[in-house]
């Protein structure tokens, strides 16, 4: 998979060189290239923003540098199946399902917006040349889309076939669909020692009874999900003859 990132703060993306994405890059599974948007400006001050038409607070990112950057990236031949991701708080919320979709693409181009956003004509024009997704990390405001591009890249790269060493840890974790299709948070986990500061590991986990362990873990996942993420629980669930209802 080829990933390009367009940003006015390329240093923000330095962690991509380390961590998980760095390992995938070393193994040749992904090719990540970070670009400074200002390289496509033509004025002495390398201007990327201007005041909004119609008035209002803040600045808007000018279309010209973006246009020239996309001309370069979309015309470099390696464009088959390219998906352009604009990171913006007005986008579709990023989820594990979106991560799975993006992981199936051959090429991703992240466009990190700053200030009040990018001139809409950039998104409209790029939409005629590539598949475009506008994606938000969640319902809070960041100063720019760089951290979102970083988070999305990490979530996507670890789903690229051949990336994870242990495929089982990919299926069992939080936000993977269960057999019933429901999304549950992960159950609590424990390791040695069995007793630590007078706190004991739940005895069932030491029992060797694999069926009992599976049942306990599922129950814990359901309780945790009902309490922390009632939005993921559809209706009440029956657990050990006790009704567990999602919190208000
Ligand atoms: Cl993608 N960008 C910005 N600026 N803020 C955000 C975001 C993105 N996602 C959540 N908040």
pLDDT in tens, 141-160: 999 999 999 999 999 999 99
Give the pairing type, strands 31-36 and 237-239.
Answer: unpaired
Q: Return the SS3 of 33.
A: strand
Q: What is the pLDDT of residue 168?
A: 47
194-241 pLDDT, tens digit each: 999 999 999 999 999 999 999 999 999 999 999 999 999 877 665 655
Which residues have CB under 6 Å of ligand 1?
A: 87-89, 136-138, 140-142, 144-145, 148
Of the chain, the percentage scoring pLDDT greater than 90 comes to 73
* Reported ipTM: 0.97
Residue whose CA is closest, atom 5 of ligand 1? 142
Atom of ligand 1 nearest to the CA of 143: 4
Query: Coil, helix or strand for 37?
Result: helix
Q: Is the peptide bond before 209 cis (omega within 30 degrees of 0)?
A: no
Question: pLDDT-derived band of residue 165, with 50, 70 and 90 as boundaries?
Answer: low
How much distance in Å is there from the Cα of 232 to the middle of ligand 1? 23
Mean pLDDT, residues 20-46: 89
Per the model's pLDDT, the better-predicted residue between 151 and 168 turns out to be: 151
Which residue is closest in CA terms to ligand 1's atom 4?
A: 144
Say if residue 58's pLDDT is above 50.
yes
pLDDT confidence of residue 145: 97
Separation of 142 CA from ligand 1 center, angstroms?
Answer: 5
pTM across the whole model = 0.89
Name the binding residues for S-adenosyl-L-methionine.
Answer: 113, 137-142
3-state secondary structure 70-123: HHHHHCCCCCCCEEEEEEEEEEEECCHHHHHHHHCCCEEEEEECECCCECHHHH
Give the residue from 13, 144, 124, 9 showing the smallest Cα distance to 63.
Answer: 124
């Amino acid at each position: 998979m080829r990933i390009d990132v367009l940003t006015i703060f390329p240093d923000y993306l330095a962690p991509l060189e380390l961590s998980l994405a760095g390992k995938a890059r070393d193994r040749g599974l992904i090719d990540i290239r970070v670009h400074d948007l200002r390289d496509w400006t033509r004025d002495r001050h390398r201007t990327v923003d201007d005041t909004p038409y119609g008035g209002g607070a803040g600045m808007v990112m000018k279309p010209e540098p973006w246009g020239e950057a996309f001309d370069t990236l979309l015309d470099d031949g390696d464009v088959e199946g390219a998906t352009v991701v604009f990171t913006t708080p007005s986008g579709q919320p990023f989820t594990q399902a979106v991560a799975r979709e993006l992981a199936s693409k051959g090429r991703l181009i992240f466009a990190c917006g700053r200030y009040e956003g990018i001139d809409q004509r950039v998104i409209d024009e790029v939409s005629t040349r590539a598949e475009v997704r506008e994606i938000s990390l969640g319902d809070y405001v960041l100063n720019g889309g760089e951290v979102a591009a970083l988070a999305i890249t990490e979530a996507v790269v670890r789903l690229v076939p051949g990336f994870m060493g242990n495929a089982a840890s990919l299926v069992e974790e939080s936000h993977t669909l269960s057999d019933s299709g429901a999304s549950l948070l992960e159950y609590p986990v424990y390791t040695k020692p069995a007793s630590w500061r007078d706190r004991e590991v739940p005895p069932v986990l030491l029992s060797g009874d694999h069926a009992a362990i599976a049942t306990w873990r599922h129950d814990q996942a359901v309780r945790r999900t009902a309490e922390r993420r009632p939005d993921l629980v559809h209706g009440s669930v029956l657990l050990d003859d006790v009704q567990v209802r999602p919190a208000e």
